[in-house]
Chains A and B, each alone.
Chain A
Amino acid sequence: MSAAGFSGSSRRLSRRRQSGRRALLATLMLLVAVASAFPLVWMVLSSLKTPAETMQVPPVWIPRAPNLEAYEKVSGVINVGRSMWNSLVIASITTAGILLTSMMAGYAFAKYSFPGRSLLFSVLIATMFLPPIVTLIPLYRLVGSIGLNASLAGIIVPNLANAFGIFLMRQFILGVPDDLIDAARMDGASELLILFKIVAPSVAPAIAALALFAFVYHWNSYLWPLTVLQGNAEDYPIVISLSRLLSYNRGALNTGLVMAGATLAVLPPLILFVFLQRFFVDSIVGSAIKG
């Protein structure tokens, strides 16, 4: 609270500084958004260029006559439909498995007390911080020895449970009132019935978030499928087919083809995100705060 005498002029000054600051902030935010969106915009624009345009120096930004030629050609090099289907199968089944195992284990850790609970929980959570490469070599051999290598099952089965899912489910199921569960027990409901009819609906947003995380993660996953499939092209998910587009491209030098393939692979996770981003963000915020 300064002296009344010069508060008028200083307020005017600070208002001008305020609006200057706002303009600067708005400009910065716009720059960040443009920089962030630019690579994907470039990808889509390039997929619509003619082969000549993609090779031009200096680069062409906006295709003069946008066309879908590159998308037609992609189908001639890789089996787009089959690869997308494989990715869908891998991501969907893995997600369903993760949801089931995570809800069950999360419920047990949140609502039962049993000997060794905190030790078991700590051991499971520790695996969350283990980079996949650490277990890759023996896992490859292990999956081969049970006859699952070079198959979709080999990609899916080892990923049907993970620590992140258990952690997320436990965090949210902790918030479900015990009274609700006890009342159902009084009525003679089985534990599985309680989990699916009473607990699951009250943590539905967290389940949606986990489903989306799992789906996108396993749609995008590359290292494990590449390792376990050993060149079985029939079962390639879209990301592996996409990587083969680049080696094809080395000879033909058709950037448009690669960009068209990339656009196709990016679309499913991006569309899911646009519609359901609320759940993604809420669950990250929720798990970070509660963790």
Chain B
Amino acid sequence: MTRTYRASAGIMLAPAVTLIGVFILLPMLLTVWLSFQDWSTQTPFANASFVGLDNFREIFGPTSVGRDFKGALVNTALYTALSVILILPLSVAFGLMVYQRDVAGGTALRTVLFSTYMVPMIAVALVWSKLYSPSEGPLNQMLGLVGIGPQPWLSSPRSALVSIVFLNVWQQVGYFTVLAIAGLTQIPGSLYEAAKLDGASRREQFRFITLPLLRRTLLFSAVIGIINAVQVFEPVALITQGGPVGSTNVLTYHIRRVGIERAQGGLGSAMAVMLMLALVVVVCALFALANRKDDE
């Protein structure tokens, strides 16, 4: 009996495990291996030659390769931090709006918010590039109505990255709102009843019940938000090409340019390995922080 199930387990798992093994796990190991090789992406893997840590020295070195990579690393960190810092509080605020029962229309709001998540990022980038247009775009016109002067948005190195963060937040916040709602439904209503009897204000209820009990949801959202944010590619590839002055050169765009377009597979792989390591460190730090708070 057990033996038949073991055979069945093999059959059931074979397709998924083979596909994920060949097209995700194997390439991941190859990325690590290639990061220690001098290798052109145009040639077979067999042409790679071992160079030790040279690729890593180069991407952190003083040459233009190093400058570009470090710039991309900083831009990606900024972009990711800003995206998550904006998305998390907004998702909780919007989640509370959808979840409350005092004013009707919560479900309709959820539909509107979540629908942006269905829009291809290419279309988002195209549409926002027109919204941001300094002269004939509607955003500067609306700012003008409230007395704020025209902004350069995507055309200035000071504001281009933030402008891409905004369009990312617009697209993603609905998804995170649904996650926040999932967290809110998990909080027992009896806690709020008890708090009301004790005379707690709405603000106190939020501070001492809602927020602490949302911590696991927020941790999950932060991890997903980070993983999503480092994948930013379309707006950069389509509109800014990393500019102006390298201000929107982010890792996914930069690694693809180096590893695929310039065919410097070894260098690109070393950058990809650094991205992977950075993600592991950040995610572990987040979990450690959350666990320490749990102990308090």
Taking Cβ atoms with an 8 Å cutoff, the residues of A that contact B are 21-22, 25-26, 28-29, 32-33, 36-37, 39-40, 42-43, 46, 54-59, 61, 100-102, 104-105, 107-108, 112-114, 120, 123-124, 127, 129-142, 145, 157-163, 166, 191-192, 195, 216, 219-220, 222-223, 226-227, 239-240, 242-243, 245-246, 255, 258-259, 261-262, 265-266, 269-270, 272-274, 277, 280-281, 284-285, 288-289, 291
User: Would you call A141 and B265 a contact (CB within 8 A)?
Assistant: yes
Interface-centre pick from A46, A108, A272 (highest chain B CB count, 10 A): A108
Residue B86 at the chain A interface, CB threshold 8 Å? no
Q: What residue of chain A has the Cβ atom nearest to residue B268's Cβ?
A: A137
A220 to B223 alpha-carbon distance, docked (Å): 22
User: Would you call B112 and A37 a contact (CB within 8 A)?
Assistant: yes
Question: A131 contacts which of B34, B41, B108, B275 (Cβ < 8 Å)?
Answer: B275
Q: Which of B231-254 contact A (CB under 8 A)?
A: 231, 233-234, 237-239, 251-252
Residue B9 at the chain A interface, CB threshold 8 Å? yes
Contacts of A114 in B (CB 8 A): 5-6, 9
Q: Which of B105-157 contact A (CB under 8 A)?
A: 105-106, 108-116, 118-124, 126-131, 135-138, 141
Q: A129-B223, A270-B119 are in contact. Are A104 and B127 (CB under 8 A)?
A: no
Contacts of A46 in B (CB 8 A): 130
Question: B123 contacts which of A107, A124, A159, A265 (Cβ < 8 Å)?
Answer: A265
User: Would you call B109 and A29 a contact (CB within 8 A)?
Assistant: yes
A114 to B178 alpha-carbon distance, docked (Å): 35
Q: What residue of chain B has the Cβ atom nearest to residue A25's Cβ?
A: B103
User: Would you call B122 and A242 a contact (CB within 8 A)?
Assistant: yes
User: Would you call B138 and A29 a contact (CB within 8 A)?
Assistant: no
Interface string of B215-238 (1 = CB under 8 A from A): 001001001000100110110011
Q: What residue of chain A has the Cβ atom nearest to residue B18's Cβ?
A: A161
16 chain-A/chain-B pairs, Cβ below 8 angstroms: A32-B113, A33-B108, A58-B141, A59-B138, A101-B16, A131-B252, A134-B276, A138-B45, A139-B27, A161-B19, A227-B256, A242-B123, A255-B136, A262-B123, A265-B123, A281-B114
Q: What residue of chain B has the Cβ atom nearest to residue A191's Cβ?
A: B8
Name the prevailing secondary structure of the A interface residues: helix
User: Would you call B227 and A104 a contact (CB within 8 A)?
Assistant: no
Contacts of A28 in B (CB 8 A): 97
Rounded to whole Å, the gap between the CB of B159 and the closest CB of chain A is 18
User: Would you call B130 and A160 a contact (CB within 8 A)?
Assistant: no
Q: Which of B151-169 contact A (CB under 8 A)?
A: none
Contacts of A262 in B (CB 8 A): 122-123, 126-127
Contacts of A104 in B (CB 8 A): 11-13, 15-16
User: Would you call A105 and B12 a contact (CB within 8 A)?
Assistant: yes
Interface-centre pick from B9, B16, B24, B273 (highest chain A CB count, 10 A): B16
Rounded to whole Å, the gap between the CB of A84 and the closest CB of chain B is 13
Residue B192 at the chain A interface, CB threshold 8 Å? no
Rounded to whole Å, the gap between the CB of B246 and the closest CB of chain A is 18
Contacts of B31 in A (CB 8 A): 134-135, 137-138
User: Would you call A137 and B109 a contact (CB within 8 A)?
Assistant: no
User: Would you call A25 and B127 a contact (CB within 8 A)?
Assistant: no
Contacts of B116 in A (CB 8 A): 36, 39-40
User: Would you call B256 and A158 a contact (CB within 8 A)?
Assistant: no
User: Would you call B119 and A40 a contact (CB within 8 A)?
Assistant: yes
Q: What residue of chain A has the Cβ atom nearest to residue B20's Cβ?
A: A161
Rounded to whole Å, the gap between the CB of B106 and the closest CB of chain A is 8
Question: B103 contacts which of A22, A191, A227 (Cβ < 8 Å)?
Answer: A22
